[in-house]
Structure 1
């Protein structure tokens, strides 16, 4: 969701998210009369002699599971989680390869640098440290894990400068062609500004589903009765977007997916969607606007820098992906499903 980018700055390439599973069961022998103690964890991948474990996977999955399940029906739950795990595994392998390569080149990130990055994030988002930690808790992650993520992003940025950036050149002709194809004559297109409220099942009690539905119905009724959607989202919604008053930002049609694509285009501005059951609970949307003023024949000189940055970032991502793939080709990688 868009608002999460404030806490997790965009990476130079999409850090894919999941680990798959290999079973390793350790059970120490015990004397008669002693309770048997079993230490459970599973190796899911080995990368150049370093391992990724099930517990590491589960920590990463916990950070995205609610978001994944909030976008699909209950019947699609298992498929969605399987796909998320596969993506997470690929991303964790790629991150480990990048870290290993950085170590070979003697690139390190100190604690002070991570402290400075967190200070900038707090300042840019006008947060306190306590508010940051509460937001991370809502995202099912910890400050320690967040620091690891920032360390990985700083390493990637340095490796980008050393290994990739010099390969990326955006000629003027390409900028001009993009302007002709995407800016000239385009005044408006569909752009959906969306608010969201979601209510997840609390625990595994038999009535958890019914209680989530009751809370969702009550909140939707308040909105329909004239209540302020943003204020109600801040106080009632269980989703990470609650902190922003349920504001997901603006999406173009091709950016909508799953339940959003099914319901959002059918709404008129100001209209509330029906209550939608997902694999994680219940949610509903409000459409603020379905039109976006996009580059109303913006002169080329004014659009040039914006286009160049867009094309540069796309090319940078492509080159970084190729570079990481080359690391994969040279690495010993064993995935145990």
Structure 2
């Protein structure tokens, strides 16, 4: 787990706190409503109807796969509520950052990216691979890091917390050694052929299976797997020679592919694997056994865990105080919605 993902947990804590209060949300936008219309003002900072709609889209994007449209429709008020809570959180933090003169330099963002890249490299992964898996770009990554560093600086300034001592970190590591274990992992590449949309016939399945069997025979005859993947794979990783990267057993891949990856021998391509997605050939390029990380190896994560736990309760209490003291005004809404958003 990267330092970035650990620090992001601090934001989740505060969002969970914000969700504990009742917030009156505007109704779904009517046709002809101006997206630039202000629906709420928080500490002097506006929230427009467009921003609310975009945040609703962001919440919807986090819905678990396979959730039915009917269920989403039933949860629409809760989804709008969550979107508005997040926007209120953003505006409260934005106002506090401006008030206290919190700034994050480009050099600080660069240092954080370097730390993340070094951590990933030390654990058999690369930053570009991780970004591709998350669908991230350099711009969005830098924005996320800047935001998180800004908030960490804000909390540290307001709470006046001192950096942890070496003794505190080592004691924390010893108390939670079971957290700092690298699980079994394999480095895999794949060639995948997706089922044609709308064609689930037995003939289509047999054709794809035959194509994949021929590709496996070409690999057995000495052809390069990565070149075959570039030419024939339907997957998003085709341009990288089919490289998925280092995976653990809990990776978000079809169960059939994961099982093949962890049962095949290194430097082997197993039999054709069928999954709900289609047909796969999996090449296991390397294997890394389970390993207990030393304190020095785990130090970046230990620091984040320790800091997260130490901040947690003070941050919750401080944000609750900031939320209660915030000036929140609803605008452009029917009278029935004009109530105190802090209630």
TM-score range, shorter chain: 0.5 to 0.7
Q: Secondary structure at the match of 2:273?
A: coil
Counterpart CA distance in 1 for 2:144 and 2:60 is: 14
Ranges in structure 1 where 5+ consecutive residues have no aligned partner: 29-37, 70-74, 126-131, 202-206
Ranges in structure 2 where 5+ consecutive residues have no aligned partner: 121-126, 329-339
- Are the aligned partners of 1:196 and 1:285 in contact in 2 as well (CA < 8 Å)? yes
Cα-Cα RMSD: 5.9
Give how far 1:307 is off.
4.4
1:54 aligns with 2:53: yes
1:224 aligns with 2:216: yes
**Which residue does the alignment assign to 1:314?**
305
1:23 to 20, 23, 27: 27
Counterpart CA distance in 1 for 2:253 and 2:40 is: 33
1:329 to 298, 302, 320: 320
Q: Secondary structure at the match of 2:101?
A: coil
1:286 aligns with 2:286: no
- Are the aligned partners of 1:197 and 1:233 in contact in 2 as well (CA < 8 Å)? yes
Counterpart CA distance in 1 for 2:113 and 2:173 is: 36
Q: Secondary structure at the match of 1:99?
A: helix
1:246 to 243, 248, 252: 243
Counterpart CA distance in 2 for 1:80 and 1:272 is: 40
| TM-score of the superposed pair, with normalisation by structure 2 | 0.52
**Which residue does the alignment assign to 1:274?**
273
- Are the aligned partners of 1:195 and 1:286 in contact in 2 as well (CA < 8 Å)? yes
Deviations 1:105-141 (A, max 9, x none): 111346x5699679979x999xxxxxx99x9899767
1:264 to 235, 252, 258: 258
Counterpart CA distance in 2 for 1:164 and 1:309 is: 21
Deviations 1:230-258 (A, max 9, x none): 4455564543796484323132x4xx166
How many residue pairs match? The answer is 281
- Are the aligned partners of 1:194 and 1:286 in contact in 2 as well (CA < 8 Å)? yes
The structure with the largest alpha-carbon Rg is 2
Give how far 1:58 is off.
2.7
Q: Secondary structure at the match of 2:185?
A: strand
**Which residue does the alignment assign to 2:100?**
105
Counterpart CA distance in 2 for 1:257 and 1:196 is: 14
- Are the aligned partners of 1:192 and 1:287 in contact in 2 as well (CA < 8 Å)? no
- Are the aligned partners of 1:12 and 1:320 in contact in 2 as well (CA < 8 Å)? no
Q: Secondary structure at the match of 1:275?
A: strand
